[in-house]
Structure 1
Amino acid sequence: MTTADLDIPATDRRSRSVTRRLLTQELRLVARDPFTLAFTLAFPIVAMLIVGGAFGSETAHGFPLNPSHWYIASYFTVMIGATGLVLLPVHIASYRERGVLRRFVAAGFPRWSFALAELCLGLIAITIAGIALLLVAAPVYGIPPVQDPLRVAAGMVVGSLAFVGIGVFLGTLLPSARAAQAVGLLLYFPSLLLGVGGPPPFVMPPGLRSIAEHLPLALVNQSIRDPWLRLGNGTSALLIVTVIAVIAIVLASWRSRL
């Protein structure tokens, strides 16, 4: 034991150890779930390759730049949506359905440990999925240069926190994994098709475009894609997503207390 360890109260060290073990177990369980791996990793990557290939690499169809680069930047946001609206709600709701959360209480886990472990799980899943997307996209279409790294990083972090918070909240609110899957997919696919990975907003009718641009996942996309591709600074979208993130994390923390 180091001097630094002696300076930390025993209860704090024990709480950190419990949370670390809980997170490790959560990562193992998620990695063994074929639905999770297929939907969070494979589906967005395959969809990005198909849509990017359909529009090609030449500026056309009204795109202000290389269409494949447009969709590479956009589909990073799809990973965030898949994690927050599908992976986490289904995973957590299955725990509630099987009584796992009650066992955590009986085992004496710190009240905040589960929320923290799920938050870390979501952020790790988004990071791995995003890296996988870029590794696949690089040899096929090339990765678009990041024009404003600080704003893009802020959009990724805040957007991830917002949807991880939403995912934890939905998972603790819905009664079963099947219900979570139904609600998650119902929220995910309109966001995917309208706000992020479907047709670009400039080809939509005005009414549909207005709806698409104000979806939460579309706002996350604007805060990431616009500064990434120099289509704008994404500041307004980032501020709104920040408010959503604060509310979502507060609600998730309240609902997930053991």
Structure 2
Amino acid sequence: MTTMTQPVRTHRSATRRLVTSELRLLRRDPLTLTFVLAFPIVSMLIIGGSFGTEADEAFPVNPTHWYVASYFATVIGATGLIMLPVHIASYRERGVLRRLSASGFPRWSFALAQLVIGVSAIVVSGILLLAVAAPVYGVPAVEDPARVAAGILAGSVAFVSIGILLGTLLPSARAAQAVGLMLFFPSFLLGVGGPPPAVLSDALRSIADVLPLKLVTDAVREPWLGIGDGTGPLLVVVAIAVVATALAARRTAL
């Protein structure tokens, strides 16, 4: 009986040690602090106050509430497209993954640790975002908590998995940073933190509608503000999460 359970205990211990180590390193990463913590908050404070507080033809609800709900998705995008790819690619560049494998850590334990780290970063950053928004713009009431939670969870898993996949594919931290920024900022400007969709041209709106980060934003924002149920975007985000998780798991098992 002992020989049957020992590998399971060893693997759980390995994952725990990896998560503890990664959480400690996360606090020392200035890039993480900038993009996952500071950038969404500062952007929300600037853009959120630029359109007043009255609904109009561009905004179906209070514009400040529109951006508070939207910027939660910015945290998800920053984590998956910038923080995790750079972090994992730097490990790969320095041969850390090979050393972990040689030390007896199962490769899936690294992927699981990164999933825990990514989701934890999103939760902490999202709470800070709402804490800052509350006294400045107010936090809009959540009309459909279950659907909002589903959108946040599916979006978080999707983008964390994308981040793990990018980190294992790109050859260096610098390459991961360049690719991450190129993917993040167009998605941010068109789908989350830029001008409202109503003022975009037809071409830009068509591009925005298929961006994964825009889909996550719609899956969260629509049920949050009561301007839709977000079912269509949520289903697509769930599909993206399944595919990205499968690909990331396959890469980390190599």
Specify the alignment match of 1:240 in structure 2.
236
Mapped contact 1:201–1:213 kept (Cα < 8 A): no
Mapped contact 2:58–2:197 kept (Cα < 8 A): no
Equivalent-residue separation in structure 2 for 1:159 and 1:199 (angstroms): 22
Specify the alignment match of 2:145 in structure 1.
149
CA displacement, residues 146-183 of structure 1 (integer Å, 9 cap, x when unaligned): 00000000000000000000000000000000000000
The aligned runs of 1:98-117 (5 Å cut-off) are 98-117=94-113
Letter in 1 for 2:65: H
Specify the alignment match of 1:223 in structure 2.
219
CA displacement, residues 1-41 of structure 1 (integer Å, 9 cap, x when unaligned): xxxxx9x9222122111101101101111110111101110
Mapped contact 1:195–1:218 kept (Cα < 8 A): yes
Specify the alignment match of 2:77 in structure 1.
81
Q: Which of the numbers 160, 163, 167 marks the counterpart of 2:163?
A: 167
Equivalent-residue separation in structure 2 for 1:120 and 1:52 (angstroms): 30
Equivalent-residue separation in structure 2 for 1:115 and 1:82 (angstroms): 18
1:92 matched to 2:88: yes
CA displacement, residues 92-136 of structure 1 (integer Å, 9 cap, x when unaligned): 000000010010011000231001001111100100110010000
Number of residue pairs the alignment of both structures matches: 252
Equivalent-residue separation in structure 2 for 1:106 and 1:214 (angstroms): 41
Specify the alignment match of 2:252 in structure 1.
256
SS of match in other structure, 1:109: coil
Q: Which of the numbers 1, 17, 20 marks the counterpart of 1:21?
A: 17
Equivalent-residue separation in structure 2 for 1:62 and 1:74 (angstroms): 15
Equivalent-residue separation in structure 2 for 1:193 and 1:119 (angstroms): 26
Mapped contact 2:78–2:184 kept (Cα < 8 A): yes
Letter in 1 for 2:38: A
1:31 matched to 2:35: no
The aligned runs of 1:191-230 (5 Å cut-off) are 191-230=187-226
TM-score when normalising by structure 1: 0.95
1:63 matched to 2:72: no
TM-score when normalising by structure 2: 0.97
Percent same amino acid at aligned positions?
A: 65
Letter in 2 for 1:80: I
Q: Which of the numbers 41, 48, 65 marks the counterpart of 2:44?
A: 48
Letter in 2 for 1:207: A
> Is the deviation greater in 48-57 or in 139-148?
48-57
